[in-house]
Amino acid sequence: MKEYTFLAVASAVLALFLDRFLHTAVLRKREYWIAIGVMFFFKIPSNGYLTWRPIVLYNPEYFLGVRLWSIPLEDFFYGYGFITATIVLWEYFLRKDRTP
């Protein structure tokens, strides 16, 4: 089984469900998509360097083996899920603090 693939995709899907469940609607906000763009902009050179050197190694048994440049595809799903969940929770607790 490709555990890293499963966990990376699951993190992205869970972040999307979290947005829906908490009713934050961050996916409809322009600022969210800008944050995702910034994340990918910095992810490509930094993660690319780490995987190209190779400083960070991945066991082929645990991921699909599909790479963009030298970065495993799963890293993009994981980054997307992590950033999305963080923004969703930020928006949720910010809104919760403002409501009486």
Domain hosting 82: range is 3-98
The CA-CA-CA angle for residues 15, 73, 77, to 5°, reads 5
Amino acid at residue number 64: L
pLDDT reported for residue 90? 93
pLDDT reported for residue 65? 84
pLDDT reported for residue 32? 93
CA R_g for the chain: 16
pLDDT in tens, 6-49: 999 999 999 999 999 999 999 999 999 999 999 999 999 999 99
Number of domains into which the chain is organized: 1
